Structure 1
Amino acid sequence: MMIRALVLAAGVATGAVAQDAPYAGQDGRAIAQLGEADVAALLAGEGWGLARPAELNGFPGPSHVLELADELALSDDQRHEIEQIFHEMQNDAAALGARYVETEAWIDELFGDKQPDPEELTYLLRSSGEMLAQLRGIHLMAHIRTAPLLTPHQRMQYASLRGYGAPDHAGHEGGGH
């Protein structure tokens, strides 16, 4: 009930006109489930918000660490190791992201045929879900691999630079680090 109230309030706050048609304007998408920005992010191996649990719990992501390399005063060794993690993550995520996008396109195609086969749909949904879980794993593991390469001070600085509030939250070592 609380979630429904929040969703309705968000719709009112954003001036949503077609409350009964939440997908209005999305019928022209190439892939119904994914907008153009989503597809571009997935094909580029970008995070797509998949590692948010790590990011918000004190495990910095390699992409953002590299963006903040100067402010964090990364050593050459740190920068090199984090670049490796980033490139591996990005390459793996881009390859799998392309497969995920393709699977979502097949789901659209299945419904576009107007006679979707339930068995084929089940297979495609299972495949899509497994790929999404693997994509999350790729990104989350990159955060796990990046965090111990930074000093506690750098992790606190990172959290502050990224706009995360509580110092005890930002400095949380977690995972036995």
Structure 2
Amino acid sequence: MQYKIAFVVLALAWVPARAADTPYAGQERRPIKALSEQDIADYRSGRGMGASLAAELNHYPGPRHVLDHAQALGLSNSQKGTTQQLYDDMAREAARLGELIVAKEAELETLFAGAKASHDNTAALVREIGALQAEYRLVHLGAHLSMRAVLSPEQVADYDKLRGYQGTNPGQGGHKHGMMHGKTGHH
């Protein structure tokens, strides 16, 4: 009886240890090993994927979420129009870049799958992918930068509350809300 119990305990202990040794199991069947289906869909649709968290969590609202909370934020028609344009421009450019990222990742996959990868061709593609990812992130961060200039300090504070963020004052960091080209006021 003790032998059976010891065997079961050892067998159960082996399963999690074995699973920890194979974190990529099943991913070898992906068309592009480096990207999940969700990653591909997110890139192709231009979703943020955390690219703008530095802005979002430091009082630089994102246009998509501002639109979602337009009524609660009391956006003027002008603010709504500007926000929609910021979102549309960001989404279009991010989707364009996302398609390029997916295509370059597919090229990298093809090199390795076809046993044609070398240091030179791998380095070139990885640098291209890195540059595209940087541009993708800048598109998202840029939309947050532009969005903050559209909102009043009170709207930014309300946005943070609506999104459930707590922490520092939105006025910190030296940015003056409502200041554009030397003029004050709401946009």
Q: TM-score, normalised by structure 1?
A: 0.86
SS at match of 1:39: helix
Structure 1 unpaired stretches of 5+: 1-14
Question: What is residue 69 of structure 2 aligned with on the other side?
Answer: 68
CA distance in 2, matches of 1:44, 1:69: 23
The aligned residue for residue 152 of structure 1 is: 153
Decide whether the 8 Å contact of 1:42 with 1:93 is kept in 2: yes
Counting only pairs closer than 5 Å after superposition, residues 45-64 of structure 1 correspond to structure 2 as 45-64=46-65
> Match for residue 161 of structure 1?
162
Runs of 4+ in 1 over 4 A off after TM superposition: none
Is the Cα–Cα contact under 8 Å of residues 42 and 97 in structure 1 kept in the other structure? yes
1:71-108 Cα offsets, whole Å, 9 max, x none, are 11111000000111111111111111100110011111
Contact 1:50 1:140 in 2 (8 A): yes
Return the offset for 1:144. 0.2
| CA–CA distance in structure 2, aligned partners of residues 71 and 18 of structure 1 | 47
Q: Which residue of 2 aligns with 1:80?
A: 81
- Where does residue 3 of structure 1 map in the other structure? none
| Length, aligned pairs only | 161
- CA–CA separation in structure 2 for the residues paired with 1:91 and 1:99: 13
Shift of 1:127: 0.1
Q: Secondary structure at the match of 1:116?
A: coil
Distance in 2 between residues matched to 1:109 and 1:157, nearest whole Å: 48
TM-score, normalised by the number of residues in structure 2: 0.81
- What CA distance in whole angstroms lies between the structure 1 residues aligned with 2:141 and 2:155? 19
Question: Matched residues in 2 for 1:122 and 1:130: separation?
Answer: 12
CA distance in 2, matches of 1:29, 1:172: 46
Q: Counterparts in 2 of 1:17-166, with a 5 A limit?
A: 18-166=19-167
Distance 1:141 1:111 in 2: 34
Superposed, which structure 2 residues align to 1:9-20 within 5 Å? 18-20=19-21
Change (3 A) 1:86 1:122: same
Residues 16 and 30 of structure 1: is their aligned pair in 2 closer, same or farther, counting only changes over 3 Å? Answer: farther
1:115-155, Cα deviation, whole Å (9 max, x unpaired): 31221111100000000001011000100000011111111
Q: In structure 2, what residue type is equivalent to 1:58?
A: H
CA positional deviation for 1:173: 4.9
Task: Provide the C-alpha distance between the structure 1 equivalents of 2:52 and 2:163, rounded to a whole number of angstroms.
Answer: 14
Which amino acid in the other structure matches residue 69 of structure 1? A
% identity of equivalent residues? 39
Distance in 1 between the 2:118 and 2:124 partners?
10
**CA contact 1:57–1:172 (8 Å) conserved in 2:** no
Correspondence for 1:4: none
Q: CA deviation at 1:174?
A: 3.0
Q: Could you report, residue by residue, the CA deviation over 1:29-75 in whole angstroms, capped at 9, with x for unpaired residues?
A: 12111111111111111111100100011100111111111111111
